Chain A
């Protein structure tokens, strides 16, 4: 490899964007070429400095509250049942969204950690589901008498979500349904609530469901 060939690849090499063959060719050239080596080290140093400088800005906590206020509008005319939406990507990051349309915004943090606790407990093998079934006609009626509402158990197989079952959760002392799906390597428990306008609340199609779940917490495997 010549300098002319290596030089345009230095950034990509630094960013680990080269395939193994090109990577190894560049490395070989660097071991033999002082000029390119110096240039590469300068890139490396800057990269290291930027990381060490920790230049990511963090949002003010008040921004989160503002966002909650923007989306949490009490739903006056909708049915009496509300669900809390929690999505967690098991492999990557546990990110919890807790929205209860009945609650004031100051309680959403407590709700969020309650959901998180429930979800972490559920990830232990014995606790994932109370009613194991991939059949929505088994899972949905199971909640009768246990929760005050009948949870939606949408069929999301078209979007690659496999129903694992259902689980009873208690959030704010209220029994709630958690429906558990698996998508590729990710297992998600979602107790649903909506940030969608009331009209769409009636009948989200499965693609919208999948989009909501994915938006909340999944990364394409």
Chain B
């Protein structure tokens, strides 16, 4: 399994909101990462990879017409006993709420709550100060309820 593939794909998927584009972005990001490997001087490879994914996704989104190909989730009503104790309806609600967040809030929430990055790591991926990370989260969370 390629290390960081899962995290790269998950992040890309939340950023561009459909599978096809997310896959393209992941491929492009891995290619960029290997070409730029000389610039990686150790530290957290996952954080490095995610910042490449973000840049790639942002470039992609800038070039794309708005509101194309936002994939709505296929309705999955099969009860999954292994899944956490969250009922399906509420799960879809939370998923939609995060998906509908403005990009700068969505990416902060995804990195914090789904990828479990620290504020410092999030600041690194998003290339913003830690204070901005904090303020974005404090505004994103009420909006995601």
Q: Which A residues are closer than 8 A to B by beta carbons?
A: 8, 10-12, 15, 17, 42-43, 46-47, 49-60, 63-64, 66-67, 70-71, 93, 95-97, 112, 159-160, 195-196, 207-208, 210-212, 214-220
B45 touching A54 by the CB < 8 A rule?
no
Count, chain B residues at interface, CB 8 A: 51
Residue of B nearest to A220 (CB): B43
Query: How far does the Cβ of B111 sit from chain A's closest Cβ, in whole Å?
Result: 11
Contact at B1–A96, with CB atoms within 8 Å? yes
Query: How far in angstroms is the closest Cβ of chain A from B76?
Result: 12
Which residues 11-57 in B have Cβ within 8 Å of A in the complex? Answer: 13-14, 19, 22-23, 26-27, 30-31, 33-34, 37-38, 40-46, 48
Question: Closest CB of chain B to A111's CB: distance in Å?
Answer: 13
Q: Is the interface of B mostly helix, strand, loop or mixed?
A: helix
- Looking at the assembled complex, report how far the CB atom of A116 sits from the nearest CB atom of chain B, in whole angstroms: 10
Which residues, 96 to 119 on B, are CB-close (under 8 Å) to A?
98, 109, 112-115, 118-119
14 A-B pairs besides A53-B86, A56-B10, A57-B22 with CB distance below 8 A are A17-B119, A50-B113, A52-B84, A54-B83, A55-B98, A59-B5, A59-B23, A67-B27, A95-B1, A112-B1, A207-B38, A207-B41, A212-B37, A214-B43
* Bound Cα distance from A195 to B3, whole angstroms: 15
* Contact between B3 and A51, CB atoms less than 8 A apart: no
Q: Are B9 and A214 in contact (CB under 8 A)?
A: no
Among residues of A, the one whose C-beta sits closest to the C-beta of B23 is: A63
CB distance from A102 to the nearest CB of B (A): 20
Q: Is the CB of B141 within 8 A of A43?
A: yes
Q: Whose C-beta in chain A lies nearest to the C-beta of B14?
A: A57
B127 at the interface (CB under 8 A from A): no
Q: How far is the CB of B66 from chain A (nearest CB, A)?
A: 22
Residue pair B145, A211 in contact (C-beta under 8 Å): no
Main secondary structure of the interface of A (DSSP, over half): helix
Given known A54-B84, A57-B10, A64-B1, contact A159–B42 (CB-CB < 8 A): yes
- Report the bound CA distance from A8 to B134 in whole Å: 9
**Do A46 and B34 touch across chains, with their CB atoms under 8 A apart?**
no
Q: Judge whether B2 and A67 touch: CB under 8 Å.
A: yes
A195 pairs with B34, CB closer than 8 A = yes
CB-contacts of B70-101 with A (<8 A): 83-86, 90-91, 94-95, 98
Cα A50 to Cα B84 in complex, Å, equals 10
Q: Which residue of the partner chain, among A54, A93, A214, contacts B40 with CB atoms under 8 Å?
A: A214
Chain A contacts for B22, CB-based, 8 A: 57
Output the least CB separation between A65 and chain B (Å).
11
Contact: A57 with B9, CB < 8 Å?
yes
- Chain A residue at smallest Cβ distance from B92: A53
Contacting pair B6 A56 (CB below 8 A): yes
Are A70 and B27 interface neighbours, CB within 8 A?
A: yes
Say how far A177's CB is from chain B's closest CB, in angstroms.
Answer: 22
